[in-house]
Amino acid sequence: MVSTTEQRKKEHLELCLTKDVAFKEKTTLLENIELHYNCLPEVSMNDVDLSTNFLGKKFDFPFLVSAITGGAQVTKKVNKDIAIACQETGIGMGLGSMRAMIEDSKLAKTYYVKDVAPDIFVAGNIGAAQIKEYSPQELNESINEIELDALAIHINAGQEAMQPEGDFDFSGVIDKIKLYAEEISVPIYVKEVGHGIGFEAATALKQTGIKAIDVQGAGGTSWMYIDALRKKNGMKDTFREFGLPTAVSIIEVKNALSGEKKIIGSGGIRTGIDAIKAIILGADLVGNAMPVLQAQNKSASKGVVKYLDKFRQEMEITAFLLGCKNIFDLKKQEYVVLGKLKEWLNQE
């Protein structure tokens, strides 16, 4: 018998790989950031080194594959392929929600990747709405079993509101995150799923013991659209464009956290230029999900390596064209804000 959770994971993969599930009109607003091209950069591109550390692990370039999957037999290969590519390119990955393996321990093997990628940073994943149901001890057992380096808690009120089997009770979530941050055996960070984290939420999260916020802003994959397609509730397009654009989300989270915790810039990050802009705005790392999944679907781990190598080169070329050798230099870069993003920021 296939459980509801396992069935949902299969449907998500299928919808992502067969339909256009991106925001249609809303963008990340990163296109409203203009970078200062330096035609005389006075650095060699060979000296550009974007390596960084995140929660105790080294990343050869600042990219963390966003949470994608696990929990159904078909997802085992997806996770292994992505992990092999992360090992080869020296970066980290997030797994999809671990709810399925907590419900059925036989599914743990669909998440376990350390056999093929012993050195990479691997983050587990659980929903904020679900942590009410599980004790930290239960989670710790699963964390040990699949040898995680961190746990991401996804806060996804929008997505849950669209899911046929959604959990709409988000009361008490902050206290539960606090408890998890104290009792979970690995560092915790919080992520959205593509509709963005704003100033107020980040301010509340700052008071918990989490180590980072992964903004997952709007402009890439629209999870309110995907789950409305599954629910067949006639709201298919109503909430497709809902959420805070990624550029806004990074700026708001940065303002809320005032340097006390790390930031991952994500949600619709599609090129190395987007990634560098996210870092200049305040992110320490970047990530994406859909392009990595599509690369895996096309040509397994080789496809993912090819995609990640290109992405890394794009980031390095952009840094070179700004005269920056490393993330530290990028953080000091000035930029110009135009258009809709400027209008948005002027009202804050």
Ligand X SMILES: Cc1cc2nc3c(=O)[nH]c(=O)nc-3n(C[C@H](O)[C@H](O)[C@H](O)COP(=O)(O)O)c2cc1C
Q: Which residues would be at the binding site for ligand X (CB under 6 A)?
A: 12-13, 16, 66-69, 96-97, 125, 154, 191, 193-194, 216, 220-221, 266-268, 288-290, 293
Least separation in angstroms between residue 332's CB and ligand X is 27
Q: Which is nearer to ligand X, 16 or 295 (CB)?
A: 16
Which residues touch 306 (CB under 8 Å, ≥6 apart)?
Answer: 295, 299
Q: Which residue is nearest to ligand X (CB)?
A: 220
Give least dist CB 347 to ligand X, A: 25
Q: Which of 156, 228, 227 is nearest to 196 (CA)?
A: 156
Q: Which is nearer to ligand X, 52 or 216 (CB)?
A: 216
Kindly state the smallest distance separating residue 21's Cβ from ligand X, in Å.
Answer: 8
Calpha distance 263→215 (Å, rounded): 7
Could you tell me the sign of the dihedral formed by the alpha carbons of 194, 73, 132, 259, in that order?
Answer: negative
Question: What is the closest distance, in whole angstroms, from the C-beta atom of residue 17 to ligand X in the complex?
Answer: 8
Residue 11 or 309 having the CB closest to ligand X: 11
The encoded tokens of residue 126 equal 């659980």
Least distance to ligand X, CB of residue 193, Å? 4
CB contact at 8 A, 254 and 281: yes
Amino acid, single-letter form, for residue 123: A
Burial pattern 45-81, b for ≥16 Cβ within 10 A else e, equals: eeebebebebbebebbbbbbbbbbbbbbeebbebbbb
Nearer to ligand X among residue 94 and residue 282 (C-beta): 94
Minimum CB–partner distance for residue 227 and ligand X (Å)? 11
Q: List, in sequence order, every beta strand (DSSP E) within 215-296.
A: 262-266, 285-287
How do 64-65 and 57-59 pair as beta strands?
A: unpaired
Pairing of strands 92-94, 212-214: unpaired
Shortest CA distance to 264 belongs to which of 221, 220, 216, 308? 216
Closest CB to ligand X among residues 89, 216: 216
Task: Indicate the residue among 48 and 193 with the shorter CB distance to ligand X.
Answer: 193
Q: Least distance in Å: CB of 52 to ligand X?
A: 19
The nearer residue to ligand X, 96 or 136, going by C-beta atoms, is 96
